[in-house]
């Protein structure tokens, strides 16, 4: 079964991850131009690997992005998919659940959006909202009309998620999860920038500031979630998000290194099929 690649931002499976100690910035100063140049090279490698992934039709890849508002999820998704064959990607954004979605279990709406073999699926937010936003705002549970159950609902949901992801990995879906760790101060700076720039006003809503008031509650929910659900077969990576070019590069590198670790290869034809191709080649050449 798939095992996570080692990385300085990997959330290990030892229940010791601390948000207070997690980096929101690179350890040293970075060069934006160099980061962007390196990113282009990594994306070119991802493009090559994605072509083999598609041709082999053995694995699928699921990339999950979670973060506080203004951390850079959308721009990171754009950056790591730019220059890669769009036919090999599918992106889903999960917002407030619809009535139809609420009539099913909390994993249903994402399960029907999973990538098929040979493709890379991206979830911009995901079923993890059910242990983040819903944990911070437990009043949302009333709309889900759940039966009365004993025990800790969050622990039960962690268990459901872990079982779900293990099932996916056993059946050929590689699950990579990225938490983009933006600082509270940087989020404030980006909110102000959205207000000051008329072309970005549409990105801002008063609800963003309201949710910012629950920052400590969200950090607690994230820490609990990351510790409970980062597994060797479905890892979380806590990526510093205050420096966007650096963040995008780190995400892309993890994706590229993970794809490189798989036994990807173009399909090989049987001798009879190869012989048929040789026959077709001769016929085409004889056309003159």
In a domain, 89, yes or no: yes
Q: Is the pLDDT of residue 126 over 80?
A: yes
- pLDDT over 90 at 162, yes or no: yes
Q: Convert the pLDDT of each residue in 16-41 to its tens digit.
A: 999 999 999 999 889 999 999 999 99
| pLDDT at site 86 | 86
- Tell me, what CATH number does 270's domain have? 3.40.50.300
The pLDDT assigned to 71 comes to 97
Q: Which residue range is the domain that position 133 belongs to? A: 19-286
Of the candidates 251, 247, 271, 240, the residue with the CA atom closest to the CA atom of residue 25: 240
Q: What is the pLDDT of residue 288?
A: 67
- Residue 230's pLDDT band, with cuts at 50, 70 and 90, is very high
Question: How many domains is the chain built from?
Answer: 1
User: Would 3 be classed as within a structural domain?
Assistant: no
Question: Does residue 2 lie within any of the structural domains?
Answer: no
Return the pLDDT at 151.
79
pTM of the model: 0.94
Answer with the residue of higher pLDDT: 263 or 87: 263
Residue 8 lies inside a defined structural domain of this protein: no
Task: Please tell me the total number of residues recorded for the chain in this structure.
Answer: 288
Q: What is the pLDDT of residue 248?
A: 98
């Amino acid at each position: 079964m798939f095992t996570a690649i080692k990385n300085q931002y990997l959330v290990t499976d030892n229940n010791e991850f601390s948000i207070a100690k997690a980096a929101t910035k690179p350890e040293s100063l970075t060069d934006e131009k160099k980061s962007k140049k390196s990113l282009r090279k990594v994306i070119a490698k991802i493009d090559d690997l994605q072509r083999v992934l598609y041709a082999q039709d053995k694995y699928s890849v699921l990339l999950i992005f979670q973060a506080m508002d203004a951390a850079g999820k959308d721009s990171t998704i754009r950056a790591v998919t730019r220059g890669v064959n769009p036919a090999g990607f599918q992106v889903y954004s999960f917002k407030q659940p619809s009535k139809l979605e609420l009539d099913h279990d909390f994993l249903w709406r994402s399960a029907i959006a999973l990538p098929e073999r040979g493709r890379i699926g991206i979830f911009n937010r995901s079923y993890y909202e059910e242990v983040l936003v819903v944990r911070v705002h437990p009043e949302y549970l009333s709309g889900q009309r759940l039966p009365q159950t004993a025990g800790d609902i969050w622990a039960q949901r962690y268990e459901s998620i872990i079982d779900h992801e293990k099932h996916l990995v056993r059946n050929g879906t590689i699950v990579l999860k990225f938490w983009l760790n933006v600082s509270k101060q940087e989020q404030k700076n980006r909110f102000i920038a959205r207000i000051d720039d008329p072309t970005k006003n549409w990105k801002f809503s008063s609800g963003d500031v309201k949710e910012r008031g629950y920052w400590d509650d969200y950090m607690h929910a994230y820490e609990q979630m990351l510790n409970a659900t980062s597994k060797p077969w479905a890892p979380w990576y806590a990526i510093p998000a205050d420096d966007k070019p650096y963040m995008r590069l780190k995400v892309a590198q993890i994706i590229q290194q993970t794809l490189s670790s798989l036994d990807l290869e173009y399909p090989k034809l049987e001798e009879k099929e190869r012989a048929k191709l040789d026959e077709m080649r001769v016929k085409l050449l004889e056309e003159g």
